Amino acid sequence: MIRTLQPDAAIFQDGGPDVRWSGNENGLTNRKSEWSTLPYNTDFYGNPADPATAADRVLRVPGYNTAADLGSDAILGQQTNGSSSWKLLRWNPGECDGRLQAPSWFWGKDARPVPLDTLKNMYLNSVGKNCQLLLNVAPDNTGQFPDDAVSRMKEFGDWIRSVQVKISAKASAHDDEGTSHTRGNLPRNVLDTDDATAWQPTATTGNLVLNLHGAKTFNVVNLQENIQVGQRVSSFAVDAWVGDSWKEVGNGTTIGYRRLLKLPNPVTTIKLRLRITASRALPPAISTLSVHQDGDMRINLAYDKPATQSSTLQAGTEASKAVDGNTNGSFSSGSVTHTSDKPLDANPWWQVDMGKPQSVGTIELSNRTDCCSNRLRDFYVFASDTPFTSTDPEATKNQPGVWSSYQTDAVGQKLTLPVGRDARYIRVQLVGSDRPLSLAEVKVFG
C-alpha cells in the first residue's frame, strides 16, 4: 500500500527496507566506516531472504545493527564452501535517530533542549558520516513546541547554514601529478553544486588539488561521492600546503553521500589535496570538495603528542588513542584507551607530554560512551611544568608545582575543567584498583 500510495516514501526499520537503524538512539553512528551496501541472508523473521521481494521487505542486518562492521569488503567477501555466504546485497543507508529534548522522547515538565554542542556532534557524526539524521522534537501538553525547543532548533539551523567557508569564484581544481581523470569527469566538477557531476581518477586511487585562491582557515572538510554510481571510497587523506610542502591534516575511511571530516586542529592554507588511497572495485566519483568552520577554532595543544599510560589492555587501546583527534567514545570505533583489566592496575593513569610548558586554559575529557562510563569517577587530573615523580596520586597531588583537580562523581560524556596556568605534562589518574581507565580523548586548550 505504501509503495502504491506514496511511491517516494522512505520506510525506516531496523533492517529497512529503505533506511536502517544506526544501532543507537544518540543521533549518530559509532562506526568508523559507514557503508550503504549491506549483505543479507534472512528477513526479519528469520526466513530466507528472497531477491525477488527484498526491496519491500524488512531484512535482518547480519551481526545486528550495533555491529562495528556491517558492509566492509571483509564482510561482503565472506564465503561458505567456496561460494558467497550471502543471498543478496541491498542499498540500505543508515538513519540516526536522536532527541532534541532530554531526558525522554516525550515531553514532560522537566524536559529541556540538549546543548547546541550535542546537536553539532550529532550532525557531524550522522549527516557527516553517510547517514540521515532523524531528530525527534516533542510537543508539550498544549500540542505546541515549547519556546526553548523552537529557539534551540533555530540555533541549530543557523549553525548548519553558517559552517561552509566561502571561497573565491576564482578557486580551481586540478589533477595532482601522476593522476589523470576519466573522460568528462573533470576536476572542476567538485566545485559546482551538482552532486550528479564528479571528478573521477582513472584508477581506484588518485589525488586532486584544490586551489583556494587565497588563504582560508577551516577545521572541517566536506566530501561527497556521486552515489548515483555507487559508494566506492574506502580510505582517503587530506593534505594542506604548509610552507613549501604538503602536510597531512586528516584522514578517514568511507565517504558515501557525505563525509564531514572534523580536523584535529584548524588549518590555514592556500590549497589542499585530497588523496583517495583505496576504493572498492571501480574508480571513485567525487562530486564535492569544500571547506567548513564548525565554530570551534581552538587549538588542541595535546593533539598527536607523546602519550603513555600505566598499562595497555590490547592493540588498539594505546595511550595515543586519546590524542588522535577522535572523540568517538564507542570502544568499537578503535579510538578509546584502556588499561589492563586482568590484572587491574593500582591507581591506573594516563598522561601526555606536550613538549614544552604552555599556557593551559582548560582541559577537556571525552569519556567512553558505549558502556562503563561510570568507571571515570573518583579521579584526579594533574598538570605540571616538570615530570611527575610518583604514580601514587596522593604523592603527586603534594608534589611541588603540581596543579590538581579531584572529581568524585562519574563523568558523563564530557568534562571540561578550568586550569589557568602553564603546564607541559597532563595526567588523568583513578584512585583505587577496582576498575581500568578508559578515555576517548583528552584535549588541552590555551
Q: What is the pLDDT of residues 196-217, one digit of tens each?
A: 999 999 999 999 999 999 999 9
By the 10 Å C-beta count (0-12 exposed, 13-18 middle, 19+ buried), 362 is classed as middle
396: Cβ–Cβ under 8 A, 6 or more apart, which residues?
380, 382, 388, 389, 390, 402, 404, 427, 429
Q: Give residue 362's pLDDT.
A: 98
What does the alpha-carbon distance between residue 387 and residue 379 come to, in Å, rounded to a whole number? 19
Q: Beta strand 83-84 with 79-80: parallel, antiparallel or unpaired?
A: antiparallel
Q: Give residue 342's pLDDT.
A: 93
Q: Give residue 1's pLDDT.
A: 86
Cell numbers at 182, concatenated: 576519466
Coil, helix or strand at residue 269: strand
What does the alpha-carbon distance between residue 214 and residue 404 come to, in Å, rounded to a whole number? 44
By the 10 Å C-beta count (0-12 exposed, 13-18 middle, 19+ buried), 109 is classed as exposed
What does the alpha-carbon distance between residue 59 and residue 72 come to, in Å, rounded to a whole number? 18
- How many helices (DSSP H) and strands (DSSP E) are in the chain? 5, 22
Cell numbers at 304, concatenated: 598527536
Helix, strand, coil share (%) of the chain residues, nearest 5: 15, 40, 50
Q: Give residue 166's pLDDT.
A: 84
Residue 160's alpha-carbon distances to 21, 156, 190, 242, in angstroms, are: 23, 6, 20, 28
What does the alpha-carbon distance between residue 212 and residue 417 come to, in Å, rounded to a whole number? 37
Cα-based angle 371, 253, 244 (whole degrees, multiple of 5): 120
Q: Give residue 164's pLDDT.
A: 86
Q: Give residue 244's pLDDT.
A: 94
> pLDDT below 70 — which residues of the chain?
none
278 residue type, one letter: A
Coil, helix or strand at residue 319: helix
Q: CB of 39 within 8 A of CB of 89?
A: yes
Q: Give residue 177's pLDDT.
A: 96
By the 10 Å C-beta count (0-12 exposed, 13-18 middle, 19+ buried), 140 is classed as middle
Coil, helix or strand at residue 8: coil
Cell numbers at 249, concatenated: 591534516
Q: Give the end-to-end CA distance of the chain in Å, rounded to a whole number.
A: 59
Helix (H) / strand (E) containing 248 = strand 245-252
What does the alpha-carbon distance between residue 128 and residue 223 come to, in Å, rounded to a whole number? 9
What does the alpha-carbon distance between residue 189 and residue 205 come to, in Å, rounded to a whole number? 18
Q: Give residue 168's pLDDT.
A: 83
333 residue type, one letter: S
